[in-house]
Amino acid sequence: MTASTTATSGSGYTVAGERTEGFLGRIARAWGNFQAYNATLAELRALTDRQLADLGLGRSGIRAAARQAVYGN
């Protein structure tokens, strides 16, 4: 085995700024995003049609708006 010569800052980033997040870290982040998406979806679904219209949304756009809010795409 060879020793790694890349130092980390303790925050999960290497000195060069590369992400060194492990497998479990990626799963935890994905789970957190999934929970945030579901919470956002539930909040939007609880709004009345009038409230959604005030936001510029229709019922058919709720999933896309929740996805955009959490994942940014």
Would you place residue 11 in the very low, low, confident or very high pLDDT band (cuts 50, 70, 90)?
A: low
Q: Is the pLDDT of residue 7 over 70?
A: no
| Cα gap 11→21, rounded to integer Å | 9
> How confident is the model at residue 15, as a pLDDT?
53
Of 47, 46, 44, 51, the closest CA to residue 65 belongs to 44
Tell me: the pLDDT tens digits for 57-69? 999 999 999 999 9
- 44, two tokens: 């939007």
| Cα gap 30→70, rounded to integer Å | 11
Tell me: the pLDDT tens digits for 12-58? 555 555 566 788 889 999 999 999 999 999 999 999 999 999 999 99
| Cα gap 27→58, rounded to integer Å | 32
Domain boundaries, given as residue ranges, for the chain? 23-71
